[in-house]
Chain A
């Protein structure tokens, strides 16, 4: 079966700021495959290259070399994004729109017929607990509500692949639990979820597979259960070992 997400020898280089002509390698020859129905956690410390990888997958950034595919289609083709949903980190949606208008706007982008869009908007707003606030403009929303409306927009086209960039960042425990529930529900529905997170406990709970990236290099990839069995440790310990974290010596 064809993978849903495929990265082949992906390399991304940037002109490093304040260092003349030197180039910073953000991603070093990354190879990754994500199969249908998997919940895949993409882990790494800040600056490891997680978001850069997602930017390439979404067509926001051209790779220096290598290629990336969604559903077997090169990510440079806009049609590759027809069946995906994306939740960027900390987005402030059009504050002059209501949640309902925002979702209707995205429905129009996908060309979803009015009746289907109406039904889907109702369902998504109740899924993310924004039914009561659907007629309020987004400028009156709290950060958690904004994140939830973001999750609803990512699901508007009933995507087969959901890409989430730190979906629980800035959320309170209740909001995090809600996001976890939604990911679990998507998994049960056979959807593929690719997400980055710093919440390792959460990743351990919901992910089938994880990849740990550090300084642009893929350090480890595998099933969560297999990794934990192999290293005889939880995901947090494995993560810290892989990135070379040395705990301070006790006095």
Chain B
């Protein structure tokens, strides 16, 4: 556990000492505050638009942070040869993968806390009310989803040598699932066999990241999701995360670390 937490600690330090997080946060804050200062035809629903845009920016920023942070971890360790110093110590490759995952996921969690705190202050100041359960669910489910994304990017980083190609593939896959994942079964119904079965299989195999997108609860002040459903979603995310990390370990444990 010492080794895992130590490795995770370095990843978190890296996040707050690099500029990426600050750039994304400042960008989100500037766009949101600019929109908040403008009045469009005295529209009373303007706060909803503002919340929608701010949450969209938070989603995009969180995905950028999760994918870029996770995708560069192992290739950077290889390129700088710090992987050799680290694995020459009593650290197993499994601990290394889990430590990297824990660091990236916790770093995403800290980033989300900052983003959601800002969002809470802005929306609270405009609406003079605050739907805490919906807010917590949106945060918690997004963080759970990021666990799958981080594990996917780590798996990619042991398969693809270049972080840029891994990052691009991860963005395409995650974006594709978020935008099209929920429609795959409907598309499959209209296809002839065997493509129907293939697409159905894909529909059931893919992690449904879109289930974790509950921004509408916060934007339209809808009632919160049942907590049991949230728990099941967390379990679902945990299973996919574990499977992806296991696959990453299977690939990484056999890789020769030639100097």
Q: Interface on A for B, CB 8 Å cutoff?
A: 51-52, 54-55, 58-62, 78-79, 81-82, 84, 86-94, 96-97, 101, 105-106, 108-111, 137, 150, 153-154, 157, 163, 165
Contacts and interface: CB of A to CB of B under 8 A. Distances in A.
* 6 cross-chain pairs, A with B, having the tightest CB-CB distances, nearest first: A86-B88, A108-B6, A60-B257, A92-B80, A96-B17, A91-B81
Q: Indicate the member of A61, A94, A109 with the most B CB atoms within 10 Å.
A: A109
A61 B257 contact: yes
B14 interface: yes
A172 B88 CA distance: 26
B90 A93 contact: no
The residue among B9, B17, B91, B259 with the most chain A CB atoms within 10 A of its own CB is B259
Nearest to A77: B90
Contacts, number: 97
B13 A97 contact: yes
A111 B81 contact: no
Interface in B229-259: 256-259
17 contacts: A52-B258, A55-B257, A55-B259, A58-B84, A60-B84, A60-B256, A81-B90, A86-B85, A88-B85, A89-B259, A90-B81, A96-B18, A106-B85, A108-B2, A109-B89, A110-B90, A163-B88
B8 to A, nearest CB: 10
B252 to A, nearest CB: 12
Interface in B71-130: 80-82, 84-92
Nearest to A106: B89
Nearest to A62: B256
Contacts of B14: 94, 96
Given A108-B5, A111-B2, A58 B87 contact: yes
**Per DSSP, are chain B's interface residues mostly helix, strand or loop, or mixed?**
helix
B82 A109 contact: no
A81 B17 CA distance: 31
Nearest to A154: B85
B170 to A, nearest CB: 23
Contacts of A62: 256
Given A78-B90, A89-B259, 4 more contacts: A51-B259, A82-B90, A110-B2, A157-B89
From A79, A87, A108, name the one whose CB has the most chain B CB atoms within 10 angstroms.
A108
Given A62-B256, A105-B9, A109-B6, A91 B91 contact: no
Contacts of B5: 108
A190 to B, nearest CB: 21
B3 interface: yes
Residue of A55, A90, A101 with most partner-chain B CB within 10 A = A55
Contacts of A163: 88
A143 to B, nearest CB: 13
A101 B2 contact: no
Contacts of A108: 2-3, 5-6, 9
A165 B88 contact: no
A137 B87 CA distance: 23
Contacts of A97: 10, 13
Contacts of B7: 109
A225 B87 CA distance: 35
Contacts of A157: 89
Nearest to B17: A96
A165 B259 contact: yes
Contacts of B6: 105-106, 108-109
Contact of A91 (B10, B82, B258): B82
A121 to B, nearest CB: 14
Contacts of B86: 109
A96 B87 contact: no
A109 B1 CA distance: 9
A205 to B, nearest CB: 25
Contact of B87 (A54, A59, A93, A94): A59
B91 A109 contact: yes
B17 to A, nearest CB: 4
A109 B3 contact: yes
A94 B82 contact: yes
A105 B259 contact: no
Nearest to A110: B89
